């Protein structure tokens, strides 16, 4: 590459653009920008990528994915399949793991609901709906609340049976959260302070519908308050 003003301007534009990107999520965009900045494209073989278009397509796919998560359990099978197929053709490899996960849940959606045998299991199944379709960051607090609730013998009994049936009858769905489910099955009943117990059980028994993001900050605040109270009790 010759050392001239045009090349320096192109490299400067490349540096400014890529420093604003996240290597974990925008790897393809960064590589495309580097190829363009270094002049490695062969115009005879393919046109130069339009980075702005690539970023817009990815952002649109992220928004579509979030909307699909929010209404996943209420869509008809036909609408759900159509919207999943739309995400698949969006050409966003960094989102593929999330899309693959939703496809697995979609295949077992009806059999999963048919596993429910009683009211307690229905409440727990409603919680698992969120665990299965939300992002790991969004479902982390809910999973921890479930783990704590499994320390209460009477609460965990029917829920534990449900996890075992899920493992035996829908192993593909179980495998999506195999480590967490195994942890729940190993969880032993233990002493739980009344305040901690009531907080977790109230949170979980209230039912769980796939909701707006505003609900999760409330869950995090509840858990933070419980942790603080627990620390104070042990320091007395």
Residue 90 lies in a domain: no
Instruction: Look over the chain and give the mean of its residue pLDDT values, rounded to a whole number.
Output: 77
- Residues contacting residue 80 through CB under 8 Å, at least 6 positions apart: 68, 72, 106, 109
Residue 74 lies in a domain: no
Q: State yes or no: pLDDT of 186 exceeds 80.
A: yes
Which three-class secondary structure state does DSSP give residue 169?
A: helix
Residue 88 lies in a domain: no
Cβ distance 147 to 187 under 8 Å? yes
- Percent with pLDDT over 90 in the chain: 39
Q: What is the pLDDT of residue 126?
A: 94
The residue that leads in pLDDT, 141 or 226, is 141
Closest by Cα among 15, 65, 58, 59 to 37: 15
Number of independent structural domains in the chain: 2
* Per-residue model confidence as pLDDT tens digits over 48-79: 566 777 778 788 888 999 999 999 999 999 99
Do residue 45 and residue 121 come from a single domain?
Answer: no
Residue 150 lies in a domain: yes
Q: What is the pLDDT of residue 80?
A: 94
26, 49, 72 - which closes a domain: 49
**Can you give the pTM of this predicted structure?**
0.63
* Per-residue model confidence as pLDDT tens digits over 121-146: 999 999 999 999 999 999 999 999 99
Residue 10 lies in a domain: yes
For residue 192, give its domain range.
117-235
The residue that leads in pLDDT, 14 or 93, is 93
Residue 23 lies in a domain: yes
With 0-12 / 13-18 / 19 or more C-beta atoms within 10 angstroms meaning exposed / middle / buried, residue 5 is exposed
16, 32, 49 - which closes a domain: 49
Closest by Cα among 143, 145, 136, 128 to 180: 143
49, 66, 85 - which closes a domain: 49
Q: State yes or no: pLDDT of 197 exceeds 50.
A: no
């Amino acid at each position: 590459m010759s050392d001239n003003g045009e090349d320096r301007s192109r490299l400067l534009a490349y540096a400014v653009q890529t420093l604003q990107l996240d290597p974990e999520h925008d790897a393809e965009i960064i590589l495309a920008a580097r190829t363009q900045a270094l002049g490695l494209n062969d115009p005879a073989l393919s046109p130069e990528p339009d980075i702005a278009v690539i970023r817009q397509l990815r952002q649109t796919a992220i928004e579509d994915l979030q909307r699909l998560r929010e209404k996943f359990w209420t869509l008809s099978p036909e609408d759900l399949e159509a919207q999943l197929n739309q995400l698949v053709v969006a050409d966003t490899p960094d989102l593929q793991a999330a899309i693959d996960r939703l496809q697995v849940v979609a295949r077992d959606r009806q059999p999963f609901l048919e596993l429910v045998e009683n009211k307690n299991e229905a409440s727990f199944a409603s919680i698992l709906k969120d665990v299965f379709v939300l992002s790991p960051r969004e479902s982390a607090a809910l999973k921890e609340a479930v783990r704590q609730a499994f320390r209460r013998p009477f609460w965990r009994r029917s829920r534990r049976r449900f996890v075992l049936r899920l493992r035996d009858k829908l192993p593909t769905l179980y495998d999506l959260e195999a480590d967490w489910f195994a942890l729940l099955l190993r969880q032993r009943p233990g002493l739980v302070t009344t305040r901690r117990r009531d907080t977790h059980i109230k949170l979980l028994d209230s039912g769980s519908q796939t909701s707006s993001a505003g609900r999760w900050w409330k869950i995090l605040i509840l858990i933070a308050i419980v942790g603080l109270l627990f620390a104070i009790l042990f320091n007395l």
